[in-house]
Amino acid sequence: MAASSELIKLVGEQLKFIREEKGFKQEKLAEMAGIAHARISEIETFKSNPTLETLDKIIDALDISPLEFFHYQRLNTANDISNKKLLIDIHRSILLERDLGEIKYVVNTTKEFLETMDKK
């Protein structure tokens, strides 16, 4: 797996987002997680693929659940994601949290938008 895969980018961006939201510097989070500071930096800059063990330590240090960590709705990365399936999966996860009426509205709006684009 290439170190620049879309999933690795999402994990790195999410880690940075949550770490900054909690007011932690990389050094502090690394200390709390019991891992090297360089490791946090490498993950946040997409230079390395974290193991599940490392990710588990980081999630524990951030005092969040794995579900919260993998909740990408708050990330504003759509412009940086080039993997079509991953973008659709993110969109799907966002919609799953909405009620049926909202989902129908989004689907209808999307359909109308795409029909308009197809006419061009």
The count of other CB atoms within 10 Å of the CB of residue 119 is: 6
pLDDT, averaged in runs of 10, over the chain (120 residues): 67 90 95 96 92 96 91 62 68 84 94 90
> Residue 23: phi, psi to the nearest 5?
80, 20
The count of other CB atoms within 10 Å of the CB of residue 50 is: 19
In the three-class reduction of DSSP (H, G, I as helix; E, B as strand; rest coil), residue 56 is classed as: helix
What is the per-residue pLDDT for 3? 43
The count of other CB atoms within 10 Å of the CB of residue 100 is: 7
How much is the pTM? 0.65
Q: What angle do CA 46, 51, 54 make, to 5 degrees?
A: 95
